[in-house]
Amino acid sequence: MTFTVPDLGYAYDALGENISADIMQLHHDKHHQTYVDKLNAAIATYPELADKTIEELLGNLGAVPEAIRGAVRNHGGGHYNHSLFWKVLSPISSGGGGEPSGALLDGIVAKYGSYQAFTDEFSAKALAVFGSGWAWLQPDLSIVTTANQDVPFMNGQPEPVIGLDVWEHAYYLDYKNKRDDYVKAFWNVVDWNFAAQRYAQLTQS
């Protein structure tokens, strides 16, 4: 399998002042493309991996040849994480931001007491990531973080519902060193419709 960078599905400037067109183009076209290029290069000489999905590769790293295991972990993780991240973001004109609804909101309120309390805790954990990494909402509605491009299911956890990239390349052009402003802006462009559908899918499987 040759992996490719998925289309954003919206314009680079669709997230307005929350995440600029310059950031989106650099992040999608350069950073994500680099992960894909290096992942494909790593697996090119191992034909037994040709039919593996990215989920299969990352979910069983022990079965990946040791010579390329680090590359698959780092660049494969980068590919999986960003492919999900683009879907988590929604243009304001398409209803991005706001609050979740239905079963997802009910579950969040039951676990955290309110939507605001949930976003406060998620934001705090995202800000507490040392260096580069991600913050994730899991299907049991717990909030976990990973370093670098690791994904939760590398460690036997399920796939996440949504994730937030807190690598500096995700925000530095817009927010410099102010990660807290970037995390705050993230809530303005979360696609809660996508999150609700993914939550339903992951909790029913």
* Binding positions for Mn(2+): 27, 82, 165, 169
First and final C-alpha spacing in the chain: 25
Binding residues: 27, 82, 165, 169
Count Cα neighbours of 107 within 13 Å in the Cβ-side half-sphere.
16
Distance CA 131, CA 145 (A): 12
Separation CA 145–CA 165 (nearest Å): 10
